[in-house]
């Protein structure tokens, strides 16, 4: 049991993953963390940034291979979560309403994603946990496959390019930055979190205004 726990703990250490598991383990972790709900605890942003920064030292220096493996894993992971969400969603929609589950929640989520899903999925790529559950939610909400595929690809491209390539070129230009990686990643998280919160508040305000207008029309 202790050996299993030690192994799981080692998966959360990005530098150890890169040094001992190489590109195969990096790719596997990115795939699990971006689409399977049980992978929410695995490293994401930090792992990508460090993979780029330490590419020459531990990954053979082939940044193109590292980049495309991570990009492919990010896209495949989201697709897996989306498909799983569609399967689980069917079961949810057949269930009777309870105090913790109501069919209208799925319908409201579907409408929200149809209207704002692109922003939520793209920005969510940069946010831990949200990155893992967003595709699952999109599947449950029955977001159209073509629309999901577009947002999935754009989000994965932005996420991988910003962190992997950013880490690689910053590492080349400023080698000492390797000692401050966590602060750089925290900066990225802070910016994307603020953006997501502002977007959520804007949508919420608009929703309340629409509800007020509908109520006024009903009264008149």
Show me where the domains of the chain are located: 18-208
Residue 155: pLDDT band by 50, 70, 90 thresholds?
very high
In the predicted structure, residue 70 carries a pLDDT above the cut 90: yes
In the predicted structure, residue 13 carries a pLDDT above the cut 80: no
Q: Tell me: the pLDDT tens digits for 80-102?
A: 999 998 888 777 666 677 655 56
Any idea what the Cα angle at residue 194 is, between residues 188 and 34, rounded to 5°? 55
Residue of higher predicted confidence among 93 and 52:
52
Q: What pTM did the predictor assign?
A: 0.72
% pLDDT > 70, the chain: 62
């977007």: which residue's tokens? 199
C-alpha 199/C-alpha 193 separation (Å) is: 10
Report residue 178 as tokens. Answer: 């390797």
Q: Is the dihedral of CA 92, 28, 9, 54 positive or negative?
A: negative
Q: 187-197 burial by CB neighbour count: b if 16+ within 10 A, else e?
A: ebbeebeeebe
Contact 55, 168 (CB under 8 A): yes
Contact 12, 124 (CB under 8 A): no
173: CB partners within 8 A, 6+ apart: none
Residue 167, exposed/middle/buried by CB under 10 A (0-12, 13-18, 19+)? buried
């Amino acid at each position: 049991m202790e050996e299993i726990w030690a192994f799981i703990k080692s998966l959360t250490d990005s530098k150890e993953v890169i040094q001992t598991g190489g590109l195969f383990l990096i790719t596997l972790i990115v795939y699990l963390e971006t689409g399977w709900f049980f992978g929410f605890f695995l490293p994401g942003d930090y792992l990508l940034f460090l993979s780029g920064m330490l590419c020459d030292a531990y990954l053979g220096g082939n940044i193109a291979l590292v980049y495309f493996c991570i990009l492919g894993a990010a896209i495949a992971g989201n697709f897996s979560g989306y498909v799983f969400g569609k399967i689980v969603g069917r079961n949810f929609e057949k269930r009777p309403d309870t105090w913790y589950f109501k069919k209208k929640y799925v319908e409201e989520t579907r409408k929200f994603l149809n209207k704002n899903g692109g922003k939520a999925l793209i920005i969510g790529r940069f946010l831990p946990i949200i990155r893992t559950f967003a595709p699952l939610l999109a599947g449950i909400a029955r977001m159209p496959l073509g629309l999901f595929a577009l947002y999935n690809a754009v989000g994965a491209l932005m996420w991988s390019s910003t962190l992997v390539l950013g880490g690689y070129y910053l590492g080349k230009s400023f080698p000492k930055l390797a000692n401050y990686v966590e602060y750089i990643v925290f900066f990225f998280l802070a910016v994307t979190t603020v953006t997501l919160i502002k977007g959520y508040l804007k949508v919420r305000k608009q929703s309340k205004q629409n509800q007020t207008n509908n109520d006024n029309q009903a009264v008149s």
